[in-house]
């Protein structure tokens, strides 16, 4: 029998679990999912993962494959050795859970199971199959509900419990309350979620923008997406343009700081905001170029690349992590 791997990703504030059976080359053979109304508890994640792993193992055997290892990615704070969950935002009972040891034991996989964060998994996915191929150093920016970063250095993902918490960098002039309890942090200005929320909040005083939003969303403003905000900004809508300019200026400043500090070969723009596409990447790169030391401006601006795998990056990273288990 040929080897296969099990990979799972928990997202949407720990309410959605997606699991796959894949070949070590990253080809997905089967998919399963489970959802819940309130965030999964540790026992529920363990139970669902084991249930889906057994179901997929049974299918794999009928296809001449055997699952020998697995990996789980979740939006949590993990210990530096990635074995224990220290915290999971919004989830109950998640303080200090030895998740890797429990999953390894319960799954019964010969090579055990690995645990990582969704952002680290997305970085690993991009380095293996996406926008990071060939680079020896890279930063992955996850610009979605929150803002976080993951780092690739000489062929490895760097691990520290609070590494990459860029969302809490203060932005001059910003005052909105952050999920952490502080004020004016980067993710209140530049996360996809904050951009949508701020845009919807401004519609009541801007009839022209409101009708443009209604046109784009088919009358459902609450379904507004960041690519739609970017489209309105590009079409000259003043409110959308101002929100995006504020987000881009804050992001470009942080990106330039990272490039100057780390000299990373690539900065991979990922998460929901990256769905804005190449014109948005170019706008961000132009801001980096404008503020960089002139002799290095073109080189540094060219290091910004869009995620190539999009929303499948975390799953591809989890597959790569499961494949690499020894």
Number of residues that bind Zn ion (CB under 5 A): 5
Q: How far is the first Cα of the chain from the last one, in angstroms, to the nearest whole number?
A: 18
In the complex, the smallest distance separating the C-beta of residue 146 from Zn ion, rounded to whole angstroms, is: 9
CB-nearer residue toward Zn ion: 95 or 170: 170
Regarding 185 and contact with Zn ion (CB under 5 A), the answer is yes
For residue 28, state whether it binds Zn ion (rule: CB under 5 A).
no
- Is 174 a binding residue for Zn ion by CB under 5 A? The answer is no
Q: Which stretch binds Zn ion (CB under 5 A): 11-19, 164-172, 234-242, 251-259?
A: 164-172
Is 180 a binder of Zn ion (CB under 5 A)? yes
Please, what is the minimum distance in Å from the beta carbon of residue 222 to Zn ion? Answer: 24
168 belongs to the binding site for Zn ion (CB under 5 A): yes
Determine the 3-state secondary structure of 284 from DSSP: helix
Least distance (Å) from Zn ion to the CB of residue 157? 23
**Should residue 169 be labelled a site residue for Zn ion when binding is judged by CB under 5 A?**
no
Piece of the chain touching Zn ion by CB under 5 A; list 51-59, 122-130, 178-186, 190-198: 178-186
201 binds Zn ion per the rule CB under 5 A:
no
Distances (CA, A) of 130 to 1, 10, 171: 29, 21, 31
Residue from 7, 14, 121, 178 touching Zn ion (CB under 5 A): that is 178
CA 96 to each of CA 42, 76, 160, 230: distance values in angstroms, whole numbers, following the listed order? 10, 11, 15, 40
Q: CA–CA separation, 231 vs 236, rounded Å?
A: 9
Spatial distance between the Cα atoms of 268 and 274, rounded to a whole number of angstroms: 9
* Cα distance between residue 136 and residue 142, in whole Å: 19
Please give the backbone phi and psi of residue 183, each rounded to the nearest 5 degrees, phi first: -130, 145
d(CA 93, CA 277): 38
Give the footprint of Zn ion on this chain (CB under 5 A). Answer: 168, 178, 180, 182, 185
């Amino acid at each position: 029998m040929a080897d296969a791997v099990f990979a799972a990703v928990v997202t949407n504030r720990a309410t959605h679990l997606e699991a796959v059976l894949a070949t070590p080359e990253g080809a997905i053979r089967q998919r399963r999912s489970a959802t819940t109304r309130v965030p999964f508890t540790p026992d529920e994640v363990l139970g669902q993962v084991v249930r889906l792993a057994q179901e997929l193992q049974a299918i794999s055997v009928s296809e001449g494959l055997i699952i020998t290892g697995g990996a789980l990615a979740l939006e949590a704070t993990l210990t530096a050795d990635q074995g224990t969950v220290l915290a999971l935002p919004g989830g109950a009972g998640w303080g200090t859970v030895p998740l890797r040891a429990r999953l390894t034991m319960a799954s019964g996989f010969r090579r055990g199971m690995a645990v990582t964060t969704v952002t680290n998994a997305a970085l690993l996915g991009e380095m293996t199959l996406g926008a990071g191929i060939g680079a020896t150093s890279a930063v992955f920016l996850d610009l979605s509900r929150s803002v976080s970063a993951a780092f690739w250095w000489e062929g490895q993902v760097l691990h520290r419990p609070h590494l990459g918490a860029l969302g809490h960098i203060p932005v001059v002039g910003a005052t909105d309350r952050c999920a952490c309890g502080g004020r004016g942090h980067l993710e209140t200005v530049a996360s996809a979620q904050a951009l949508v929320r701020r845009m919807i909040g401004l519609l009541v005083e801007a009839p022209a923008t409101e009708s443009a939003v209604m046109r784009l969303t088919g009358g459902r403003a609450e379904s507004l997406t960041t690519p739609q905000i970017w489209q309105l900004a590009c079409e000259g809508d003043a409110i959308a343009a101002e929100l995006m300019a504020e987000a881009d200026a804050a992001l470009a400043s942080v990106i330039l700081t990272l490039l100057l500090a780390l000299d990373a070969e690539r900065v991979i723009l990922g998460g929901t905001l990256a769905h804005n596409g190449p014109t948005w990447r170019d706008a961000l790169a132009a801001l980096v170029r404008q503020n960089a030391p002139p002799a290095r401006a073109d080189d540094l601006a060219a290091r910004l690349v869009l995620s190539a795998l999009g929303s499948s990056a975390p799953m591809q990273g989890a597959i790569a992590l499961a494949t690499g288990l020894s």
